[in-house]
Chains A and B, each alone.
Chain A
């Protein structure tokens, strides 16, 4: 084939330019560490990289939510643990009070300590998350939820903030205070027993339990003693059950069992009614009030012991409730751990896929670079040699 002089030069220059362009691209790839300099290098790869980038960012967002939830739940767990210990102390004081060896002065000290514990528990219930948001206020967490000296009022609501921690799971980052400290009942949770203040005997409640909840109708009943007999009347004064009473006998009616110890006097009465809502602050306050009532006579002591028995039952229920809430918080923290490791594992997968699409194989690129350099050098030398040849040099 005939070759023209200008074609020879142009062709060689064109080749040099192409090789330099390829070299520039390799250089850019080596400098950025990225295989794709734009989507045109691998359109489908770049399109999936957009989705994978999104997924990766999503996992980081979930991690942010997990951290936020873990912070708040951790704080909540601490408060619940402290509250549980506080209730233990309340229980010890109630048992001391029950022992009957207390003087009016020591009972006064107990009452003062109980009120102090109540204030302390109120402080716990008004804990914040370190950023001024109250932990136990539902969605009204800008101000302290619990207030009041005698009766504690709740200014929060029952909302829970749910945080998305995986694609499918949400976790509540706190519990409303009403559900932790307030949704409790007095007595044993089903019914209450109170000794009449006019009782003169020394009979006191020593056992109160539900045997068959389906028979319990939630009504008001009166247990009365007269001449060695007992009778239980309902609110309409109709006799429900009656019989001869011997001390320590189990009295059963409407699916509940009552046990009294000590001898009742004729005319002594106990009233039995359905439990009603009573928050934990009121329970402690109630104990403090019992401590302030006179224990002077055996009858008074028996009346107070019945009341303390009831308080202990409700305190135990409150303690158990706090333990349940704490366990639920623990479960949520475990869910967070699980979500974190699940997200982490998936994020690694996504990062690997992204790296496969986008990242440069340096070994391959380095080989390519040296090949391109060699080729460019050879082309330049060839150009110089070929262009140096001319027949005119010999004429």
Chain B
């Protein structure tokens, strides 16, 4: 009866394995990435006998890992998408928080600045209102500077995280390559039986890579897995791993880009994962916000300076720059062979687009290309200081000799927010008054009254010269006693860069004197014009006020943050669904294992009983023979 004995032994061995596996499952109930295992039992067939086949017991064919390669692959993709959305959303909500916070955003300092301008208009000579305008302008420029600082800080954080994440991807790729080698080896040693726990480890590592960068995988016949980036570069090829590195862009502009194995720049083709989220955030939100913030700063400085120059300060001098001048940033490509340097000044804030450009020299001419979409931008001028290259509010002056193929990256407003500074410190230098005033001689007998005087050209060198307009008849006048000019009611008299409106009919001999307002004038003509900037279109060709630009800044950050949050929620749901699917297939259920333990234990005990029966049967035979 050795057959029954071996059948019983086969049961003991098989259920021992099954109990071990259930124990292994229970032990790994909380191990991340663990896939439950199951001993696959098969009946052993006996030899042929006259009356048919009697079975030879049970055998365990293999220890099966319950995992679905398709679900695993899908989970990798979902993890990539979720990590991208979460990274983007985390950064976007920080920017959104800064811009929409009443304490950190632009709203309060901008209102404070406008309040101070309005206060100056009501009280142009008051030292307090002049001082509070300087304080308001200071806190406004500080806020621009600090927002720009926060954006710059975020950019360097993005750079750091890119570097760190690329390093992690490289390390994980090496580990996957090592595991590939061990798996192929282990599979060979075990006669083709799968090394289940190594496979789990490898899947977990590949998932780690997928949360960092979008990948595709292909499984090899020998058990190895190849990992490719979205652009098709092989991160892992069998037992060989390649590196992902981060380095400076071609212009040394401080921007970090992604390189494959230290060579090819794959920034533009990379998507998904933390790296994809960082790159998307930089491209879709950070760059436009920096440019728009800079554009607001440039618009504010230009409009304020222009109007300020058309006024007269408390010392009786024409207004100088209120804010210091803002210049664009230029980065020459490292590969340039010429010696030319390019200077970018912002000549017309209303025409600025907020885009970045590349300027290339063909050997005979300059070509300007929009960096965002590669479209060509028409240029006028020759590039000399007298005739600068001009396009979209930019004025470019080239010095030195360019070589054919030289390229420059222009970021006209990306750093402008940090350049906004109040140029005056002396409250008396605030130009609140109009530079000129007009008076009608008291002896005038006509009905002509002053309708107002405005400065049309503050640069006119004779602006401040006194002018006497004497009417030689109701329709003619002389200027400073000379000449005879026709006067018609309703047409302003324009001399020396100012223009004077009269209402009514002058009488012969009536005279009007135009003179400079001089020092300490409490005229508020220019202060009122400065205060009017709050509702004047400054950007986008005069269509957008600063408030509108700020509102679109807040709206853009808010919309992207909202959209990103929605994506996070959507991706989280998709990922959770796939995880549930995977867990449903591969996760350990303790109740199930408990039931299996009971089941396998009973089977083991029964098998042991079979051996005892075999023994008893054999004993019966022996007892029969002894007799």
Quick one: which of B429-459 are within 8 Å of A by CB?
433, 437-440, 442-443, 445, 450
Within 8 A of B (CB), among A1-42: 1-7, 11, 14, 36, 38-42
- Please indicate which of the listed interface residues A4, A5, A133 has the most CB atoms of chain B within 10 Å of its own CB: A4
B10 within 8 A of A: no
B546-570 interface code vs A (CB 8 A; 1 in, 0 out): 0110111011111101100100000
Q: Is B273 an interface residue (CB 8 A)?
A: no
Binary interface encoding of chain B residues 440-482 relative to chain A, with 1 for a CB under 8 A from any of its CBs, else 0: 1011010000100000000000000000000000000000000
- Give bound CA distance, A47 to B99, whole Å: 11
**Distance A392 CA – B586 CA, assembled complex (angstroms):** 21
Interface pick from A115-123, A162-170, A286-294, A305-313 = A162-170
Does A239 sit within 8 A of B, measured CB to CB? no
Contact of A390 with B590 in the complex, beta carbons under 8 Å:
yes
Q: A141 at the A/B interface (Cβ < 8 Å)?
A: yes
Count of A residues near B, CB < 8 Å? 60
Q: Is A259 an interface residue (CB 8 A)?
A: no
Could you tell me the dominant secondary structure of chain B's interface residues? helix
Contact in complex: A162, B558 (CB < 8 Å): no
Selecting from A52-60, A92-100, A193-201, the interface stretch reads A52-60
Residue of A nearest to B122 (CB): A68
Q: Contact: A11 with B580, CB < 8 Å?
A: yes
Smallest Cβ-Cβ distance to A51: which chain B residue? B551
Decide yes or no whether B595 CB sits under 8 A from chain A: yes
Q: Which of A81-89, A153-161, A242-250, A348-356 contacts B (4 or more CB under 8 A)?
A: A153-161
Q: Does A149 contact B (CB under 8 A)?
A: no
A162 in contact with B111 (CB, 8 Å) = no
**Alpha-carbon gap, A46 to B118, bound state (A):** 26
Interface string of B104-122 (1 = CB under 8 A from A): 0001001100110011011
Judge whether B542 is part of the interface by a CB distance below 8 angstroms: no
**Which residues of chain B in 484-531 are interfacial with respect to chain A, using CB atoms and an 8 Å cutoff?**
517, 520-525, 528, 531
Partner of B118, one of A4, A61, A170, A279: A61
Partner of A163, one of B115, B121, B517, B522: B121
Contact A6–B583 (Cβ < 8 Å): yes
Are B584 and A141 in contact (CB-based, < 8 A)?
no
Q: Is B29 in contact with chain A by the CB < 8 A criterion? A: yes
Give Cα distance in the complex from A182 to B583, angstroms.
Answer: 97
Complex interface: chain B residues within 8 A of A5 (CB):
29, 587-591
A39 close to B598 (CB less than 8 A): no
Q: Do B522 and A54 touch across chains, with their CB atoms under 8 A apart?
A: no
B69 sits at the interface (CB 8 A): no
Are B590 and A159 in contact (CB-based, < 8 A)? no
How long is the Cα–Cα vector from A61 to B437 in the complex, in angstroms?
A: 26
B-side interface residues, number (CB < 8 Å): 75
Chain A residue contacts of B96, Cβ below 8 A: 38-40
Q: Across the interface, name the chain A residue whose C-beta is closest to B449.
A: A179
Instruction: Determine the chain A residues whose CB is within 8 A of the CB of B591 once the complex forms.
Output: 5, 390-391
Minimum C-beta distance from B445 to chain A (A): 8
Give per-residue flags for A183-208: 1 if the beta carbon is below 8 A from chain B beta carbons, else 0. Answer: 10000000000000000000000000
A227 close to B (CB within 8 Å): no
Q: Please, which residues of chain B bring their CB within 8 A of the CB of A51?
A: 547-548, 551
Contact with A along B589-602 (1 / 0, CB 8 A): 11110110110000
Could you tell me if A158 and B554 are in contact, using CB atoms closer than 8 angstroms?
no
Q: Is the CB of A164 within 8 A of B531?
A: yes
* Cβ-based interface call for A142 (8 A): yes
Q: Quote the shortest CB–CB distance from B469 to chain A (angstroms).
A: 14
Chain B contacts of A162 at CB under 8 A? Answer: 524-525, 528
Whether the pair A46, B555 counts as a contact (CB closer than 8 A) is yes
- Quick check: A142 and B29 within 8 Å, CB to CB? no
Digit string of B261-302 for contact with A (CB within 8 Å is 1, else 0)?
000000000000000000000000000000000000000000
Contact, CB under 8 Å: A38 / B437: no
Chain A neighbourhood of B561, CB < 8 A: 38-40, 43
Chain A residue with the shortest CB-CB distance to B98: A38
Contacts of A50 in B (CB 8 A): 107, 547, 550-551, 554-555
State which of B122, B517, B548, B576 has its C-beta within 8 Å of the C-beta of A139.
B517
Min C-beta distance of A332 to chain B, whole Å: 15
Q: Are A7 and B583 in contact (CB under 8 A)?
A: yes
Q: Which chain A residues lie closer than 8 Å to B30 at the CB level? A: 6
B437 touches A47 (CB 8 A): no
B93 at the binding interface (Cβ < 8 Å): yes
In the complex, per-residue mask of A337-358: 1 if CB is within 8 Å of any chain B CB, else 0:
0000000000000000000000
Say how far A335's CB is from chain B's closest CB, in angstroms. 16
Q: When A5-B588, A38-B558, A276-B443 are in contact, do A164 and B121 touch as well, CB less than 8 Å? A: yes
Tell me if B160 counts as interface (CB < 8 A to partner A): no
Q: How far is the CB of B513 from chain A (nearest CB, A)?
A: 9
B430 → chain A closest CB, angstroms? 15
When the two chains form the complex, which single residue of A1, A39, A158 contacts B439, counting CB atoms closer than 8 Å?
A: A158
Task: Say whether A40 contacts B558, CB under 8 Å.
Answer: yes
Docked CA distance A92–B423 (Å): 61
Contact across chains for A46 and B524 when beta carbons are under 8 A apart: no
For residue B124, CB closer than 8 A to chain A, the reply is: yes
**For B587, what are the chain A residues with a Cβ–Cβ distance below 8 Å?**
2-7
Inter-chain CA distance A5–B30, complex, in Å, is: 9
* Contact yes or no, B584 A54, CB < 8 A: no
In the bound complex, do residue B124 and residue A4 qualify as a contact, i.e. CB atoms below 8 Å apart? Answer: no
Find residues 110-153 in chain B having any chain A CB closer than 8 Å to their own CB: 110-111, 114-115, 118-119, 121-126
Are A6 and B29 touching (Cβ within 8 A)? yes
Q: Is B100 an interface residue (CB 8 A)?
A: yes
Contact at B558–A43, with CB atoms within 8 Å? yes
Q: Complex Cα distance A198/B140, Å? A: 77
Q: How far is the CB of A183 from chain B (nearest CB, A)?
A: 6
Query: Are the CB atoms of A392 and B437 closer together than 8 Å?
Result: no
9 A/B residue pairs, CB under 8 Å, sorted by A? A3-B589, A39-B554, A40-B559, A43-B558, A54-B534, A64-B115, A139-B517, A161-B523, A395-B594
Given A2-B585, A39-B561; 20 other pairs, CB 8 A cutoff: A4-B583, A6-B583, A39-B554, A39-B555, A40-B562, A42-B558, A43-B559, A47-B551, A48-B551, A58-B535, A64-B122, A68-B122, A139-B523, A141-B125, A157-B439, A170-B528, A391-B590, A391-B594, A391-B595, A392-B590
A-B pairs, top 8 by smallest CB distance, nearest first, are A4-B587, A39-B558, A47-B555, A43-B558, A40-B561, A139-B523, A50-B551, A39-B100
